[in-house]
């Protein structure tokens, strides 16, 4: 029996293992559209079979750029005392930007707190009441993203009584409301209150005002404000998102649905802080302020179903494009391929979709 050079076989073995892993991931991982291609055998030999594909979700807070406006809204310059709503007459806490242990910069909205004390960004107190205490927090990625789960904002010392979540599709040049939050939606925004659980397939993209996260409940455990994505998905995919194929079918066929979950930037407009009651107590304005300890944005890079990987390059997210496409979002054909032949990939037919690969220059048509 002739001896086989194991070193010579190594590249082929690695290729086979990679192809096998791609195929297994495509069909058994429970994550549809997770691979762009796999190697298949035909009568003419092995060839690549292409699929619509998308990157896996990531915790996007690790990539976001935070900007707070106005610049002097962050506490600590000059140093300032503040109180808490639970014990408003013990004003022994201090914010001081020149002392690391007492500083509360914007970066603390995105830090990791696996162990140790909770850290948070904090504003100045409402010492200039009745002038409104307003703060805008812009979160930028310089990249189109698609939400895959709930946005979660964690407030310390009480949730705002009035706020707005905005989104941008053009890197912050224009904005549109995503959701309104208020303890009284009619008074604050002239809108009747509504819950996501009350939405249906025909109005799932409606911008609503919710009172669910704004009313004072007197509990330190009530810290979170959500933008419910999973509950909207469940309208199509059912409880537990078990019918995920139906969700992807609707994403493809329902006008505006994918765009609803797409953004490049988010913005929090904080319009009135937690009051700890029904009115502002003018004799103790040091207990009114905003403080955010965490912002979670679970999302994936939007690659137009032409990439299964998205990487950070020089601080910017970039799709690793397949299907002869190129660009940050794989939104055009690569050089030497027909520019007019570009189309986004399609979720249909499920579960593999259609890759809509760019045609080579001079070809008569796509398969």
Q: Would you write out the chain's pLDDT as a tens digit for each of its 367 residues?
A: 444 454 445 445 444 444 443 333 333 334 689 999 998 888 888 888 999 999 999 999 999 999 999 989 999 999 999 998 877 777 878 999 999 999 999 999 999 877 778 899 999 999 999 999 999 999 999 999 999 999 999 999 999 999 999 999 999 999 999 999 999 999 999 999 999 999 999 999 999 999 999 988 766 678 999 999 999 999 999 999 999 999 999 999 999 999 999 999 999 999 999 998 888 999 999 999 999 999 999 999 999 999 999 999 988 999 999 999 999 999 999 998 987 789 999 999 998 999 999 998 766 554 4
| 288 in Cβ contact with 173 (< 8 Å) | no
d(CA 355, CA 367): 10
| 303 in Cβ contact with 262 (< 8 Å) | no
**Closest to 344 in 3D by CA, of 361, 327, 334, 332:** 332
| 39 in Cβ contact with 19 (< 8 Å) | yes
| 80 in Cβ contact with 95 (< 8 Å) | yes
Task: Count Cβ atoms below 10 Å from residue 366 Cβ, excluding itself.
Answer: 13
d(CA 85, CA 298): 31
Could you give the 3-state DSSP secondary structure of residue 58?
strand
d(CA 84, CA 91): 7
d(CA 99, CA 302): 41
End-to-end CA distance of the chain: 45
| 143 in Cβ contact with 213 (< 8 Å) | no
State the pTM of this model: 0.87
d(CA 83, CA 284): 9
DSSP string for 307-328: -S-EEEETTEEEE---TTEEST
d(CA 354, CA 83): 58
Q: What is the DSSP letter of 30?
A: S
Backbone dihedral region for residue 236 (phi beyond 0: left; psi -120 to 50: alpha; all else: beta) = alpha
CA count, 13 A, side-chain hemisphere, 154: 15
């Amino acid at each position: 029996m002739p001896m086989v050079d194991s070193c010579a076989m190594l590249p082929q073995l690695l290729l086979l293992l990679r192809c096998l892993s791609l195929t297994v991931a495509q069909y058994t991982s429970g994550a549809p559209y997770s691979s762009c291609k796999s190697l298949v055998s035909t009568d003419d030999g092995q060839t690549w079979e292409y699929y619509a594909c998308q990157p896996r979700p990531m915790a996007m807070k690790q990539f976001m750029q935070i900007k707070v406006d106005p610049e002097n809204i962050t506490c600590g310059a000059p140093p300032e005392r503040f109180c808490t709503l639970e014990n408003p007459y013990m004003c022994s806490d201090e914010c001081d930007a020149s002392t690391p242990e007492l500083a509360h910069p914007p970066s603390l909205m995105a830090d990791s707190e696996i162990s140790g004390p909770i850290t948070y960004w904090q504003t100045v107190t409402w010492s200039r009441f009745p002038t409104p205490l307003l703060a805008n927090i812009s979160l930028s990625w310089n990249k189109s993203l698609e939400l895959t789960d709930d946005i979660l904002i964690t407030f310390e010392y009480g949730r705002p009584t009035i706020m707005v979540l905005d989104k941008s599709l053009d890197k912050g040049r224009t904005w549109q409301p995503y959701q309104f939050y208020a303890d009284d939606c009619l008074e604050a925004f002239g809108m009747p209150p509504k819950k996501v659980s009350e939405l249906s397939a025909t109005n799932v993209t409606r911008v609503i005002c919710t009172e669910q996260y704004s009313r004072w409940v007197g509990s330190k455990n009530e810290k979170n404000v959500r933008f419910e994505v999973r509950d909207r998905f469940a309208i199509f995919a059912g409880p537990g998102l078990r019918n995920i194929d139906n969700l992807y079918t609707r994403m493809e066929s329902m006008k505006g649905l994918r765009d609803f979950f797409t953004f490049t930037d988010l913005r929090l407009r904080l319009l009135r802080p937690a009051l700890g009651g029904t009115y502002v107590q003018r004799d103790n304005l040091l207990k009114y302020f905003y403080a955010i300890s965490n912002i979670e944005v679970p999302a994936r890079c939007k690659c137009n179903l032409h990439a299964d990987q998205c990487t950070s390059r020089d601080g910017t997210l970039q799709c690793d494009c397949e299907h002869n496409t190129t660009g940050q979002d794989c939104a055009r054909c690569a050089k030497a391929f027909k520019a007019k032949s570009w189309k986004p990939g399609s979720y249909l037919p499920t579960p593999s979709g259609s890759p809509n690969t760019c045609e080579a220059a001079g070809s008569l048509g796509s398969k």
